Amino acid sequence: MLHKKSLGQHFLRSKAALFNIAEAANLSRADTALEVGPGEGTLTELLLARAGKVVAVEKDDRLMPILRQKFAADIASGKLHLIHADILSFSPSHYSLLATRYKIVANIPYYITGAFLKRFLQTETRSPELMVLLLQKEVARRIVATDGKESILSMSVKAYGHPAYIGSVKAGAFSPPPKVDSAIIAIENISKSFFSDGLVEPPTDTRSDLVKKKERRFFELLKKGFAHPRKFVASNLGVPTEKLKECGVRDKARPENLSVKDWKCLSASFRDS
């Protein structure tokens, strides 16, 4: 099967890397795995052996007949739901995903990484419990911030879960090989508790609105704070350093030096500013 360049396709051939992805998902029979981009179905086989059910979303119409033939028995039994769709327009409310524990396992095209993370972390419906993603290595390192330097991307992920670097995957493990190496990351304990902590228990609709407001305020401040990454946070936010000290942030701190808890404190502190 020739890859489709417009879809950013690179088929993973390494059995070790495929095994590591499946293992990182920590699947049980109680789980539903939402696989993004099953391609030729090599990872799908491993997920079917571990999960109670697999929902596989494939955008390339050329691959659908191959997958239907390869997994005819699993489709017939209801263990595999094969869907021809763009994952960025796919709703988790389909196929009972909201009624079960579900985890995302994805080898996504590099160019949709930001949109994909936003869609499934900031969703207004039920979030996945865990994501295991195969990403461009540089992007994976930025998310985990292994160098201690945070970014809007790393903060955006850490506001919803705990990212961990699982391992690197060389470009030669793919067919065709991409121009850069990749890496496997897991984002665990995904929820919106970061934004709901400290709220009393008002009616559900009111609570949802309050969470959305805290979420929106957090990201507005984050974008403002990172507008000029090499400048001091006080300068970017246009506030006196005394205001930062209320959250334990030193006066000459740059955006990359702040933790996700620091930004949360600042967004609460500046809510009336």
Numbered residues of the known binding site for S-adenosyl-L-methionine? 10, 12, 37, 58, 86, 107
- Which candidate, 40, 35, 191, 20, places its Cα nearest to that of 103? 35
DSSP-based three-state secondary structure for 151: coil
Distance CA(220)–CA(240), nearest Å, equals 19
What is the rounded distance in angstroms from the CA atom of residue 64 to the CA atom of residue 231? 50
Sign of CA dihedral 182, 223, 160, 151: positive
Contacts of 110 (CB under 8 A, 6+ apart): 8, 135, 136, 139, 178
Residues within the annotated binding site?
A: 10, 12, 37, 58, 86, 107
Instruction: Produce one character per residue of 176-191: b if its CB has 16 or more CB atoms within 10 Å, e if not.
Output: eebeebbbbbbbeebe
Phi-psi region of 163 (alpha: psi -120 to 50; beta: other; left: phi over 0): beta
Alpha-carbon gap, residue 273 to 92, rounded angstroms: 37
The closest alpha carbon to 155, from 185, 121, 182, 126, belongs to: 121
